[in-house]
Amino acid sequence: MARNNVRLGDLLVKANKITRTQLNEVLEMQKVKKKKLGQLIVDEGILSEIEIIEVLKEQLGIDMVTLSAIDIDTRAVSLVSETLCKKYDIFPFYVEDGLIKVAVSDPLNIFAIDDVEINTGRRVKAYISTSDEIRNATDRYYSGRSVENAINEINKTVAVTSIKADDIDKMDDVKNAPTVKLVDSLLKNAVEQRASDIHIEPYEKFIRVRFRVDGVLNEISTLSIDVLSGIVTRIKILADLNIAERRVPQDGRIVTNINNKNVDMRVSILPLITGEKVVIRILDRSNYKVGRERLGMSKEDLGKLDDIISAPHGIILVTGPTGSGKSTTLYTVLSELNDNEKNIVTVEDPVEYSLEGINQINVNSKVGLTFASGLRSILRQDPDIVMIGEMRDSETAEIGIRAAITGHLVLSTLHTNDAPSSVMRLVDMGVEPFMVATALKGVIAQRLVRRICPHCKEAIPADVAERRLLGVSENEEAVHYKGKGCAACNHTGYAGRMGVYEIMNIDRDLKDLILKTSNSDEVKDLAIKKGMKTLAMSAKELVLSGQTTIEEMMKIIFADNL
């Protein structure tokens, strides 16, 4: 308990990490900014959080813990309330007999240790961790518990009486209604697990709830079918949809704030024979960043991208299936092209993220604002650069191509399997080959693959079949990598996703070939001779460099028809 008199500033000065003068300056700032001393030192760039932790470890003899790399004991989590964790920036991760192990960002806060000991009746052993680690663990584990508690509460309610849809918005205390708590907990949990989509699927006797994380659907829970109408009604109320209409599909939007993050959710409701299915697409605006580092392109691919976007006019296409990261690529290109000398206008369905300095239009088919009509209006606004969310029809494609020919730089997306297929797709949409050859400057085809978890990554010698897949001869040594599964990756072996790219720069030879033929195989063969790496080639490179697995590569190879 002698640590109660120890002060962080004195420890840092004693360890020669900061000077007494620096400490006094930060202490003066603290009087005005009302922040913790350690946070101010980090904010001012004097020391990093890790450097402060290293000093505390050395001076106080306290071990450090990386919460994302260990298995969390959920019994410990159940003993300490979420309120207490957030109050003191702590997280319980292990319990045995009369001891509970707790990660703390400030080991000098004796009140935090005392409160945990009083609330749990156990002796506390403190470990140092970063605020980010503690916050992420708290969000992840307590949101999961809130879903479990809401499910238990709703199951008790169902045991007494079925919840009717018409009752949800008439309850005296809506926020405390079990169905409302469950929906709110599901939305919060999905955001904290970095889910891109929530699926609520009705079957004959139960409801299945799944989250899509890193492109893969995972089952979260099952619910009684009796609560379906209440859940759907609550979501309809949040999305401002017609709660009385259950026969036709409905689309809506929920804009909310979760854990101080602005979150935009797109709601789609589809009537099935077993009830209404709900899919919610999550757009976390606060976490959205554009930039080359987010794309994950190789230096070679970045060079090709620079060549394409340096064109003063013409059309640049980004292709791939839904959820392949096309929007991220487009927004990154737009942000790089954005400056005070250019007028940039976009027409999107919907506008996913707002970019400062760029004029963005949301498609609204109910009032006749389509891609085609919006594009016509944009061209009367003296634009330098135009972005069309998607070329869905021949009218939009033709207007976009004509705009590119008449001196505008046009960016858009298509749904094709690879870059060369885009040529055939435009011709199939009714655009003349000579216009395609004249306007097209480059095509970027892309996919997303899961990245191997760095915490549990291990090397595996490649067998004969794997060598053949990777294009490695029998005489060469070859290994590939895989994640064993750990707490950091939720035992999946993967952590996050990365892009795989196929970039086709349209030079004079390719233009001449497009004028003669729209056969995508011929265009592909010539593009490869000109240095284009196919999606399959790029995926193989990622496997050999240890960034993704053979299983993820196989998805690309089959899609690339190789």
Whole-angstrom distance, CA of residue 342 vs CA of residue 170: 52
User: Among candidates 109, 94, 105, which has minimal Cα distance to 39?
Assistant: 105
How many other β-carbons are positioned within 10 Å of the β-carbon of residue 7?
11
Q: Do residues 141 and 72 lie in contact, with contact meaning Cβ atoms separated by under 8 Å?
A: yes
CA distances from 241 to 27, 122, 167, 198, 247 (A): 53, 50, 16, 18, 13
How many other β-carbons are positioned within 10 Å of the β-carbon of residue 204?
8
Q: What are phi and psi of 452, to 5 degrees?
A: -65, 135
**What's the confidence (pLDDT) of residue 513?**
94
Buried b (16+ CB within 10 A) or exposed e, 43-63: eeebbebeebbbbbeebeebe
**What's the confidence (pLDDT) of residue 168?**
47
How many other β-carbons are positioned within 10 Å of the β-carbon of residue 296?
19
Buried b (16+ CB within 10 A) or exposed e, 130-155: beebbbebbbbbbbbebbeebbebbe
Q: Which residues pair with 388 in a beta bridge?
A: 347, 412
Amino acid at site 223: L
**What's the confidence (pLDDT) of residue 287?**
55
Q: Is 275 left (phi over 0), alpha (psi -120 to 50) or beta?
A: left
Pseudo-torsion of CA 176, 179, 181, 183, nearest 10°? -150
User: Among candidates 262, 275, 253, which has minimal Cα distance to 203?
Assistant: 275
**What's the confidence (pLDDT) of residue 57?**
77
Q: Which residues pair with 501 in a beta bridge?
A: 446
CA distances from 504 to 215, 330, 423, 433 (A): 26, 16, 11, 17
Q: Read off the tokens for 272.
A: 């099935």
Positions in the chain whose pLDDT score sits under 70: 1-6, 144-146, 148-150, 152-176, 284-291, 518, 558-562
pTM: 0.72
**What's the confidence (pLDDT) of residue 185?**
87
Amino acid at site 141: Y
Buried b (16+ CB within 10 A) or exposed e, 230-254: bbbbbbbbbbebebeebeeebebeb
